[in-house]
């Protein structure tokens, strides 16, 4: 919603003052906002994407099943 508000405000100001600088500033602001949201989501979800691994007992079961399969060899 913040991005929509920024876009509306910047386009309105650009039209009212007949100056495309406001539209450019709005576009850059939206890009910064999107980058900040993406950084926040990456930091929040990095543990579930990278750091968490399979428990050792389950890993050994999966490994044994794969090693017994002739296609995997």
Residue 73 counted as domain residue: no
Measured distance CA(42)–CA(50) in Å, rounded: 11
Residue 56 counted as domain residue: yes
Give Rg (Cα) of the chain: 25
Q: Which of 28, 37, 39, 45 shows the shortest CA–CA distance to 1? A: 37
Tens-level pLDDT at each residue, the chain (73 residues): 999 999 999 999 999 999 999 999 999 999 999 999 999 998 888 877 776 677 888 888 989 999 999 888 7
Q: What is the pLDDT of residue 55?
A: 83
Q: Number of folded domains in the chain?
A: 1
Residue 19 counted as domain residue: yes
With contact defined as beta carbons under 8 Å apart, do 26 and 2 qualify?
no
Residue 64 counted as domain residue: yes
Tokens of 22: 């406001």
Residue 32 counted as domain residue: yes
- Give pTM, 2 decimals: 0.63
Residue 34 counted as domain residue: yes
Residue 12 counted as domain residue: yes
Angstrom CA distances, 68 to 40, 54, 59, stand at 43, 20, 14
Residue 19 is part of which domain span? 2-68
Residue 18 counted as domain residue: yes
Q: What is the pLDDT of residue 54?
A: 78
- Local structure of 23: helix, strand or coil: helix
């Amino acid at each position: 919603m913040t991005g929509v508000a920024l876009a509306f405000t910047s386009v309105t100001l650009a039209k009212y003052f007949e100056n495309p600088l406001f539209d450019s500033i709005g576009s850059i602001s939206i890009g910064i906002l999107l980058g900040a949201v993406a950084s926040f989501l990456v930091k929040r979800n990095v543990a579930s994407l990278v750091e968490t691994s399979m428990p050792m007992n389950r890993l050994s079961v999966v490994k044994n099943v794969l090693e017994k399969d002739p296609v995997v060899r």
